[in-house]
Every structure is written in structure tokens, then in C-alpha cells.
Chain A
């Protein structure tokens, strides 16, 4: 192997990303709630964390570059999209880490395949069946381990033990009422055993939810009405009512911005940012903000240069956010160089997403 590549590789694999917590809390593993937000469709990284002082950025995007005067400056190199006002405020309060240039080698530009690579933390040419959080989820207690509130099971996919997927708590409880339950069986029909186990799991989950939510605490700050807001609301309610579920998977759809992206993208980021702020306020009130980490991910970033329809096409690396009451804020990883693009005009990743994930798993 070329020595330079080797060095780069070593740098990547040992990359230290202490964004999650102060050193003492790593030992205590004190985080209790991990909220994963999938930015579905492939979020445009360059218009999210903007290299606003780089002339190449404006050259690559004559129509869709964000105006220098409008962006929210973080440092000399990068600034946030104006819609991310709430995130910027949290950044200033030491509550946001930005990891730049996240991607993986031999990137795949298909939505379906690339999100699968992210979800299973596989190599580009490897097909794994289980989501990356699956391995963190193997103790045998009956507690609910995760809730999928939007999109696919993603990181929680696989032989999903004690993971439930719900749109509303009420309808889940209603549906589960019809399961008879309390079934004993002997014999060696594994398929039947699997179904009966699953039935039991549904009943137990429903009972846990019923118990935890019997004296429902009301939210102090209300969410707006949209599909994503509703997901955030449910997650917040479950947390403040002490459902003690470690993983929440949410999905904000619409990031596949091939055409006229400025307005669409701005609205999406606003929805993301405002909802995170409302969740934060509620969790601060209940004293759980310090136990919570919110992280974003997406199947890929977008092409560095704009396309002919004032939009951007499928790309590779992009930055992501980690937000929480007890994390070490700052900018991590390297912003991919706009001067050294791949042959087809894509950004070259600087941080392997598997290291990003590895670091997150350490604190659970």
C-alpha cells in the first residue's frame, strides 16, 4: 500500500471523536436516550454546513450557493444554513457537535443501497442483515429496546427483539388488545414458537407502555403539526414519561432535492432545527436533556456542483449533527476539499461513518 494512503487510513481508523461526552461520563455510560434522525433522500451537506469563505463554493454553485451575509457563522471556515438558527444557539451553548465529511470508501449512489450500507454499517460491497444497533441490543430482558417512529427499522433492523414500530401509542395499544396471549407451548415447531414469542412480546410491550403512560405527563412546550413533529412529539412523550426506551428512530423525508432546492431545503432544515429545539426545551424541563443524544444521518450527501435544474444530484460525503445536553461541542473531522473532488465531481469523505457510529455505541 502507498505510504500516504496507509497513513490516511490509520488516521481514519484511530480518529478520536470525543464529541459525545466529557471523559468522566464515558465511564458511567450515563446517556439513556439516543434519538436517530434519518434525513431521508440525501441531505445536501454543503448547504447545511457552509464553507462560506471558500470562493470555490460559489463557483460550483452559482445559483444555489447561500449568501455570505445570511449564513450563521461558526468560525472562519464554516457557517450554518440560516434555517438552523436554533441549532446555532445550541452550538453556542456547548450542545452541538458537527462532524464533517462523513462517508465511506467506494460510495454507492443509490438511495436504497446506500442507506442499507449505513443502516447495517457494512462495507460498500458487503450485505449484512442486521442494523448496527442490533448488537447493542442483546440482553434478554423484556424491556422495550427501541421504537421506530418514522421510516424503516434502519439501524434497529434485523431479528428485532423488543423493538416496536408505532405511529401512535393509542393505535398500538388498541391493536395489541386483540392478541390473546399467555400461551404455553411444547414441541419443536420453531416457526410457531417464533410467532408465539412475538405475540408475547407485543403484549409485554403494550403492558409496559400502558403502565408507564398511565399518569401521562403533559408536554410543557407543544410541537407543531406535521409528520415529523408528530414523531418528535411521541419520542419526547415517551422519554418524559420514563418509558426507559434507549433507542428512537425517526425520519424526516424530502431531502432528495434534484430541482429548485433552495426553498425546499430551507424548509426542511427549519423543521429539523425547530423540532429539536422544542424537544430540548421539554427535556430540560423534565431534567432529561443531559441523558439525551440526538444524531442525524443520511444515505449520502449531494454533488458539490449544482445541476441544471437549480438542484443537486446524489453525492457522497456530508456533515452530521450530534446534539445533546452533555456533549463536547465543536467541529470534528475535516471538511472535504472543494479543490480535490472525485472524477465525477463528488466530495471525498474524510471520516468513515463506521467510526462515527463506533463512538456513539461506546456511550451506551
Chain B
């Protein structure tokens, strides 16, 4: 990696000078690489090394802060650091009453005036929700929990645009937080009674006489087993078991017995008068389910490169632990595949924007502007593009979004209220860039900071 960076630096900083100088630099860097490796071997014998902590936090936090790095390095071993991270007591954001209330519709049929007013009220609360959501990412004392919440909301997708009522998305967000590091099985049972989900995937229209298969299909394809592991017939049976799972007039969950199909259903060789919870239990018994979820977590936390054998091993462990998240995450973060993947993943827009602001404790940055940037970078908050969620990875970056990412970072550096820049620029580069890289400090701190943030490696984690 150091090699790549040195070549990069060669071309960036020595662009106008001759090639031989570049080669000399390259050799020097190679020698330094050897030194670094040696020093790593020596220091790792005594304390938890800086780079392991940085990598762990890069993947599990939202932008690294000094404090997090320092406290990680105090741990006796890497295993301890992982355990502390995963098993620490979670800190939840305070409940916001105004976000939990429905925007009332004055009557069933609205005239033009009322419709306009209703829409305005919805929009107002939507904005309020987005600001709350973003502020929470910036100020949270539990970034790993929030990372997991982001993961689940991109797994069990629902979008504000379709659900419309912000309070339902807010409630769903609270649900994710409750189970984020708890049990996937329990979360799955809960999500089929979640109003936002029932509305988002049209299960209100799923009745015994007129089945609607939307939720059932996605539940198998995207939420549990993945394509290729079930049949069209299974979808139909699951849809029948989901009939009647709906909401009442207050948009609270309601099981409507009279439109529920209570006849016998068959799924994976079992039959009975199953409701959806019985069906979910059967789905959870399938190996495909644990493998599918582990694979998705792997792509989010470990690496873009899959290792089938390791995934199978982790999946087995996950299933045997009743789908508890904590033991799985500990195992994943301790895996050598995780450790070897330093700086090989691309930051999502949320990680880039919220992470940058959080690293510098820059809570005064105009949130509306930040939200607009998220939108322009393809991650419109609380509005995934479709039920599949954001694909992410390399797709985050194209000619347009790369320019917008740089534009945001520039704006951030230019902002005057932003940070108190009293740092040693060398350390800063070391902390902010996921791989070892040498950035020649400029004559002012601000300029150095810009060099660091505009470096292509800053886009990585």
C-alpha cells in the first residue's frame, strides 16, 4: 500500500520535476516502508498499535475522533478493543415527542386548500426529522450503534417519500436502534408489524381474497434468504400468511383477523395454519438466511471481496447463537480478512460528510447544506432509491459525485467557524487517511488540511 501511495505522491507533488528524482523518492519510500514494518513489529509487542485502532474505527465509527483513537490504543489487545466496542452499553438519543406524532389529515377527502396545507405540514415534519437524524449522527456518543442502524435501515428499507408520515419512519428508526446490536431474528419478527414497512411494501392491500405479494417477495429476496433459495410458490404461501397485517386509522399496527388467510400453508416441507411469525421461524431455520445476512454485513464491514468459506463459518456461528449480533460482529472484526482490508473500501456519502464534520466536532456546519450534499452525492437521507437500498461500493463515485465530494470538502475547509486548527499536520494526515501516506505540509495549516482532505485516499476507509 505504501508503495502505491508513494507513487501517487511522486506524481502529485513532483509532477513538474524529472523522473529520476521521482525514482529516488520512490526508493526512499520503500526504505521507509521497511522501517515502518520493523517498527510495527516492535511496537505491537507492547501495546495496541495505532494502525489497527485506526482501521477498526474507520469501519465501525463515523469519522474518527482523537478521543476514540486514544481510548482504543489504551486497550491491552486488539481483541479487547473489539470486545469493548461491541459490548459497551449502548447510548440512545433522547425521545423526541414532536417527531412521534402523526400529521393529521383534517378529513378523508381534502379540497385543494386542505391538501396544500396537509402537504406543507408533512414537509415541515419531514425536514424536522431529517435534521434530527443528521444531528444525531454528528453528536452521537455511540457511533457504532448508529452505523448498525444505518445498516439495518438500508436492509429493511422504507422510504419517507412513499410512507409520507415522518413519525412512522421515526418509529422505525427507533426500532432499528433497539435491535441494532440485539437479535436479527427478533428484529425480523418486529419488522413485519412495523407500520412504515407495511405501508412501504403495500401490505395494507394484502387480503385473503386479493393477495398482494410485495412484502412477501421482498422478505424472501432481500430481507432473509436471497434470490435463488425459494420458489414462486413459497412467495405465495408467505403472502397468504401475511394477509391482514395492516394498520388502523391512526396508522398503528393492527392485525385484521377478518381478512387474514387462516388456512393451511406449506413452507420448506412444513405445514400448518401458520401466521407470518410461524413462517419466519421456518425461514430462520434455513442456512441460506444466516449466510445471506452475513454476506451483507461482510460487504458493509469487512471487504468487497467475499470469502465463501469464511462466510459459511460465520453464518453457522450466527445461526447457532440465535442470530445474536454481538458475537457475530466480534468474530467478524477479529477476522484476518477484516484486518487485511485497510483502506480498500469507499466511504458512503454519509460516512464522508457526517464523518468529516464529526471528526472536527464541527456541529455548526449548516445542516441543510450538509443534507443537500448528501442528496447530490446519491444518498438522500431516509429515502433509499428503491427497496434494494443503496448498492454502494464503487457506485458511490463517478465523475460527477467525485467533483461534488471535493466541492463539499473544500467548502468545509473554507468555512470560518469550522475548527480550531491547532494540530500537528503530520499527525492529522496520519489520523485521517486510512493508509500510510506522506503528505508534505503546506505553509499554512488550512492548506495542509485541504491537501489531506482532497487526497484520493481520504475517500477510502
CB distance A186 to B4 under 8 Å? Answer: yes
Q: Which of A185-209 contact B (CB under 8 A)?
A: 185-187, 189-192, 194-196, 198-199, 201-202, 205
Q: Contacts of A159 on B, CB cut-off 8 Å?
A: 394-395, 398
* 25 A-B pairs (CB sep. < 8 Å): A112-B162, A159-B395, A160-B399, A160-B400, A163-B399, A175-B403, A179-B406, A180-B12, A185-B4, A186-B4, A190-B304, A190-B394, A191-B304, A191-B393, A191-B394, A192-B4, A194-B394, A194-B397, A195-B397, A195-B402, A198-B398, A198-B402, A201-B399, A202-B403, A309-B111
Query: In the complex, how many angstroms separate the beta carbon of A166 from the nearest chain B beta carbon?
Result: 8
CA–CA, A128 and B460, complex, Å = 26
Closest-by-CB residue of B relative to A164 is: B399
CB distance B400 to A165 under 8 Å? Answer: yes
Q: B115 touches which one: A125, A185, A309 (CB < 8 A)?
A: A309
A interface residues, how many (CB within 8 angstroms)? 43
Q: Which of B90-121 contact A (CB under 8 A)?
A: 109, 111-112, 115
Q: Does A183 contact B (CB under 8 A)?
A: yes
Closest-by-CB residue of A relative to B384 is: A112
Q: Which residues of A contact B (CB under 8 A)?
A: 110, 112-113, 116, 125, 127, 129, 148, 159-160, 162-165, 172, 175-176, 178-180, 182-187, 189-192, 194-196, 198-199, 201-202, 205, 258-260, 308-309
Interface of B, secondary structure class, is helix
CB distance B1 to A187 under 8 Å? Answer: yes
Q: Contacts of A192 on B, CB cut-off 8 Å?
A: 4, 343-344, 456-457, 460
B interface residues, how many (CB within 8 angstroms)? 43
Q: Which of B370-428 contact A (CB under 8 A)?
A: 385-388, 391, 393-395, 397-400, 402-403, 406-407, 410
Q: B344 touches which one: A183, A190, A205 (CB < 8 A)?
A: A190
* Beyond A112-B159, A191-B344, 13 extra complex contacts between A and B, CB < 8 Å: A113-B386, A116-B386, A162-B399, A182-B11, A183-B8, A186-B3, A186-B4, A191-B304, A192-B344, A192-B460, A194-B346, A195-B460, A308-B109
Query: In the complex, how many angstroms separate the beta carbon of A123 from the nearest chain B beta carbon?
Result: 13
Query: In the complex, how many angstroms separate the beta carbon of A157 from the nearest chain B beta carbon?
Result: 9
Q: Contacts of A175 on B, CB cut-off 8 Å?
A: 403, 406-407
Q: Does B61 contact A (CB under 8 A)?
A: no
Q: Does B459 contact A (CB under 8 A)?
A: yes
Query: In the complex, how many angstroms separate the beta carbon of A258 from the nearest chain B beta carbon?
Result: 8
Q: Which residues of B contact A (CB under 8 A)?
A: 1, 3-4, 7-8, 11-12, 15, 109, 111-112, 115, 159, 161-162, 217, 304, 343-346, 385-388, 391, 393-395, 397-400, 402-403, 406-407, 410, 454, 456-457, 459-460
